[in-house]
A and B are shown apart, each in its own frame.
Chain A
Amino acid sequence: MKGKMNVHCYFLIILMAIMLFLGIYTFTYKDIETKLMPIAVCGMGFVLVANELRKELTGQKKQASDDVVDNVQMSEDGPTATVSELRLYVIGFAWVIGLFLSAYLIGFLISTPLFVFVYMITHGRTFLASCITTVVMGGTIYGASVALQMYLFPGIVFGG
């Protein structure tokens, strides 16, 4: 075996497991109309993922020549993520979860400016810059959620 297990391999294994589970679970439905297409897609997906995993593990994988996928600039580190790179994603994702939890507890109107201020201060921005951005963002959220829907477009935010 030439290739090594990397993040992409684990991702493919999880995908295979999900497709296999969904494919088998779909057999429990009675009507052929309900289960034919999902089983076909799960089966095809499973084969494609297995083929991709085989390529990854046997080192047949070609390095993609382009750095752009879907008009989005990709990392130049290589085709797949490294563990340290994913750790940075986890930290970023933790901020998103933090905002979500604070919004759940105290609402978007307070949690959003709070998030902006804390994030900027902890990422080396000056107090003044953080304050200005917080006020602008808070004003925007307040404007969007209150003024905009009351005066301009009723119902555009949170269904009115």
Chain B
Amino acid sequence: MDFAYIIQSFFDGFFSLFHLNILLGIVIGVVLGLVVGLLPAIGASMIIVLILPFIFGVDPIFALPMLTAIMAVNYIAGSVTAILMNIPGSTASVATVLDGFAMTRKGEGGPAIGAALSASALGGIGSVLFAILMMPVVFPVVLAFKSAEMFSIILLAMCFMATVSKGSTTKGLISGCVGILLGFVGFHETTAAARWTFGSIYVYDGISIVSVMLGLFALTILLDMRLSDEPLAPMDTAQAGNLRELWKGVIEVFRHLGLWFRSTVIGYIVGVIPGVGAETAIWVSYGQAKMTSKDPSSFGTGNIEGVIAPESANNAKEGGAFLTTMAFGIPGSVGMAYMLVAFMVVGLQPGPRMITENANVCFAILQTLAISNVVGAAVCFFGATLLLKVTRVPPIYLFVTIMPLTLIGAYNHHALLSDIIIMLIITVLGIFMHKSRYPFAPAVLGYVLAPFFELYFWRALSLGGPLFFLTPISIILILSTIFMLGSDFFISSFKRLLKPEGRKTA
């Protein structure tokens, strides 16, 4: 893969964005992302799932920038509610609450918002720059991935997602197994056997991806949301402050460029690691900000460094997560699991082939990420107070507007009522899983990756024999999987070994 191809793809991707439809898609994505970012009950993943049925057959260069924009600005909006209302819009804004809301209580809400927005935008841009610079390095790495390595990395990704999702590892693994079993339904590619179809022609092509996504995730969460009729913020509690105050916050970010850079690098690295979410990035960067601060004791009482660090990191994480998702076909985070489905819905197969054959799309996505961060921060900068009104909408309005869309979406895929029936059946499964605290992400990933997992396994077996996994990359990946799955066991064994010594010293 020559350097000229990378440069050409970079510019192809860049210029393809300057089309009215695409720019419109980005703007729609930014607005949607900001609105859902303010509502913890919805979130970017939900909106992506709801949009999926309507992007079948749509040009990826139009559909993906819109979805990318939603993902990009989700955290920006979440920081606004975190700072002004003490309500993090997403789990990635939890660390921002500590110092952001403390600043609001001290009457410094404006500078806190300004700092959060500019740190977010700069963090997003920084991570995209890192991702683009890493492209020439990633190319030879992905080309080294053959069937055995792909099998091993899919195994690692599924186990990663199961173990890092919140809740117990066993529940994550069970959720993954459920997803894989759903993914096995239908024609088997190599033997042409109809697996678990029970004579029904409808499921020969497998269970509809849209029905699974809408049933397992969207409708379940909507029904959960319906149980509460209280708006997120019933009263007009917060004001973002005037532009002058916001600008003070922007200047503070430029006064702490070192902190911004360190946090961005941390966010990017965490994003690259499969399955690790923004929750890790924000706390690691918050910790390093506290350690390197001249006044660590003021953290938690309204130190602006406690806002800049997590906000830079949570947006920087996206660049790394997108790169991992596109290059290896394994999601860099929970949200990326849903983006992975979106890639497949528009006809792209994330993985080595995507980055080598559709490098222009990859660059366009990364560039959209940077543009969306800037546009999203600018919209919040000038219209945060207006956007906050969204938080006063009672959930009943969201339920009556979104719920019909899930049914229409399921029907829209194949124009078959059977898709809706399957969606409703999967919703029942989703309700039980949700109320028993099973994470959905491993199930989604299992469902999406199951056919590829099986395909690569048999291909690697036929090419390399029973010991096909004895390649350097594959061994590292499988050892990582074993270590990750057994980490709890290893840690508890280690503690048990140390216990008698502890007693002696006591």
Contact = CB atoms under 8 A, between A and B. Distances in A.
B378 interface: no
Majority secondary structure, B binding face: helix
Interface in B283-304: none
A37 B428 CA distance: 26
A86 B435 contact: yes
Most buried by B among A48, A55, A119, A158: A48
Contact of B195 (A34, A75, A158): A34
A33 to B, nearest CB: 5
Interface of A: 7-8, 11, 15, 19, 22, 25-26, 29-31, 33-34, 37-38, 41-42, 44-45, 48-49, 51-52, 55, 62, 64, 66, 68-75, 79-81, 85-86, 88-89, 92-93, 95-97, 99-100, 103-104, 108, 112, 115-116, 119-120, 123, 125, 133, 137, 140-141, 144, 153, 155-159
B196 interface: yes
Interface string B184-228: 100010110101100000000000000000000001010110110
B464 interface: no
Given A7-B436, A80-B437, A41 B184 contact: yes
B257 interface: no
Interface string B422-449: 0010011001111111111100000000
A74 to B, nearest CB: 6
Contacts of B58: 153, 156
A156 B58 CA distance: 8
B54 to A, nearest CB: 6
B141 interface: no
B245 interface: no
Given A72-B43, A74-B437, A7 B432 contact: yes
B221 A71 contact: no
24 contacts: A15-B174, A19-B181, A25-B196, A34-B191, A37-B454, A44-B177, A52-B171, A64-B437, A66-B166, A70-B45, A70-B334, A71-B90, A72-B434, A74-B434, A80-B435, A86-B431, A86-B435, A89-B223, A96-B219, A99-B407, A100-B424, A125-B396, A157-B54, A157-B412
Interface stretch (B111-119, B123-131, B379-387, B397-405): B397-405
A20 B266 CA distance: 45
B168 interface: yes
A41 B180 contact: yes
Nearest to B428: A93
B404 A66 contact: no
A80 to B, nearest CB: 5
B38 to A, nearest CB: 14
A141 B165 contact: no
A49 B400 contact: no
Given A72-B221, A96-B403, A137-B401, A81 B174 contact: no
B468 interface: no
A72 B458 CA distance: 37
A100 B420 contact: yes
Contacts of B173: 44, 48
A69 B439 contact: yes
Contacts of B428: 93
A44 B427 CA distance: 24
Given A34-B193, A48-B174, A73-B41, A104 B417 contact: yes
Most buried by B among A52, A69, A120, A123: A69
Contacts of A85: 227, 435
A22 to B, nearest CB: 7
B180 to A, nearest CB: 5
Contacts of A19: 177, 181
Given A41-B181, A64-B166, A71-B90, A33 B458 contact: yes
A95 B431 CA distance: 15
Contacts of A8: 435-436
A58 to B, nearest CB: 14
Contacts of B334: 70-71
A100 B162 CA distance: 33
A108 B437 contact: no
Contacts of B322: none
Given A49-B174, A71-B45, A93-B428, 8 more contacts: A7-B436, A11-B432, A15-B174, A41-B180, A42-B181, A52-B170, A80-B436, A92-B226
B178 A137 contact: no
Interface string B148-165: 000000000000000001
